[in-house]
Amino acid sequence: MKNIYGITLSQLENYFEKNNYKKFKATQVFEWLYKKRVSSFDEMTNMKKTTIEELKNEFVFENIKIVDKKAGQDVIKYLFELKDKNLVEAVLMKHDYGNSLCVSTQVGCNMGCAFCESGRLKKIRNLETYEMVLQILKVEMDLNIRISHIVLMGIGEPFDNYDNVMNFIDIINSGKGIDIGARHITISTCGIIPKIKEFMENGKQINLAISLHAPDDEIRNKIMNINKAYPINDLIDVLKEYIKKTNRRVTFEYVMLKNINDTEQCAITLAKLIKNMNAYVNLIPYNETRHIAFNRSDNETILKFYDILKKNKINVTIRKEFGNKVNAACGQLRANHERRDK
């Protein structure tokens, strides 16, 4: 049976129509799930008992479980246990503009970025749509808050789980669902070009972020395996096409790695690479982990890198640091939990 939290509104409408019901029943179910937050079909009091029984035979309310939680200043890191006992993470970040949740899309990751903790633990499987939706619902219930922004930047590569991710976005963006605005949702990808091309035909105003982390093939090949399949110039070309077609700005995520990608020459090369693009660069101080031998660039180096981009008329920000004391980098809490269990 399918989990009810993994069904989009249009899929549920199709189900009711196929079973000779009016499709507005789907809207009623969605309102019970996402507005009134019921946890069983029996609580849907405006539905006939026969309808309830049919829904019970078709769908289930399986849940995910919070097994660990670490809080720091303006950040809370959640570790979830799935039905099959696998673990994934989500990170709540409190901003002045609202509450943002960083959601995982896979158990592990096969992209193999050298500096990434979640890439160290290889992909076991894709997350189902409902397992992503429930990350939001569980955090909102736990803290009694409203999450206003979603970033698909947790464990996993979202475009390696494309169909489930698109269904997830459909549910959380729906006005009858969790109702998070499209422009408050960001998908981060390391650069799977065929999926970027597919995504640009989607039509939704979802934000696109690219995990770039290097200004050229020489450096990117060393730290990001994906670049060997989709070289940096090919990636930039398709992003220019994306910007032209969608009229949407692209974000380039750039983790600052000491003596790897943080030199003045790297900043100059990066500025030339993305010159005149409708884009901005988000410089990210690296969150060090005991398992991986990369170090964080010092503040002076980060600021110098920032200044070079600014002088070259590149829109650039330095990301506020969240939770380096609560294992906030993707995969750290999961890795520590699994090490304790051994």
CB 103 within 8 A of CB 156: no
The tokens describing 334, both together, are: 């999961």
Is there a catalytic annotation at residue 89?
yes
Exposed (0-12), middle (13-18) or buried (19+): which is 158, by Cβ within 10 Å?
buried
13, 43, 89, 321: which is the annotated catalytic residue? 89
CB 133 within 8 A of CB 101: no
Is there a catalytic annotation at residue 81?
no
CB 107 within 8 A of CB 82: yes
Cα 80 to Cα 103, 168, 186, 322: the distances in Å are 11, 17, 21, 20
Q: Determine the Cα–Cα distance for residues 150 and 99; give it in Å rounded to an integer.
A: 9
81, 190, 330, 338: which is the annotated catalytic residue? 330
Active site amino acids: 89, 330
